[in-house]
Amino acid sequence: MTTHPDAVKWNERYRLEGARWLASKPRGLLLDFAYLLPETGMALDAASGVSIHGRFLAERGLRVIALDISEVGLRLAQKWAREKGVWLETAVLDLSHLRLPPNSFDVIVNFRFLERTTFPVYQQALRPGGLLIFETFVKPDTLEEHPHFFLDPGELYTGFSDLQIIYHGSKKVSGATRGRLQSAEQLVARKPA
């Protein structure tokens, strides 16, 4: 197992709270736009943890690759996939070093994780007509620590302006800072065919 601080933190959380994470439901943004999902194809669940969203996509018939820095979270996702008999592959990866083949994915989902270097990687990895569903936290006014973990308002819209924007908005969600409500920016976009 890696000694990266994020891997250590998340491996421990999934060791202690794995059952709770596995019982989690997909985020509302994915559920609200599920009607846009293809019935077949390849999907990427980026920063997946136990692959809550990848599991949802796999149950709908997509072949899913789940990437995360936590080996423990991914093992839980693999165990679930074997029990359900669905196609879900995993790889332990620090997404700050993400490389993906061009035109490979019909769907990419990214929830509650921000690594700006992934923006152009996601865009080139989507197949023409491919769907991006992205939600993560916006920088609060009082933020003092880790500003690189938070979006500036409108940053997703600007960062993916080459895609066809289907939906862009913000929503108050339970947050990364001890469960307090925080603003999250949401984006659903399609790569032009």
The tens place of each residue's pLDDT in the chain, 193 residues long, gives 568 888 899 989 888 888 888 888 999 999 999 999 999 999 999 999 999 999 999 999 999 999 999 999 999 999 999 999 999 999 999 999 999 999 999 999 999 999 999 999 999 999 999 999 999 988 876 655 566 778 888 999 999 999 999 999 998 876 555 556 688 999 999 999 9
Residue 24's nearest CA partner among 54, 47, 2 is: 54
Which helix (H) or strand (E) segment holds residue 156: the answer is helix 155-159
**Beta strand ranges found along 24-177 (DSSP E):** 42-46, 63-68, 88-92, 105-111, 126-137, 164-174
Put residue 129 in one of left, alpha, beta given phi > 0 → left and psi -120 to 50 → alpha. Answer: left
pLDDT of residue 53: 97
Return the CATH fold of 1-16+39-97: Rossmann fold (3.40.50)
The reported pLDDT for the residue numbered 150 is 86
pLDDT single digits (tens) 91-119: 999 999 999 999 999 999 999 999 999 99
Write down the pTM of the prediction. 0.91
User: How is the chain split into domains, by residue range?
Assistant: 1-16+39-97
In the prediction, which pLDDT does 147 show?
66
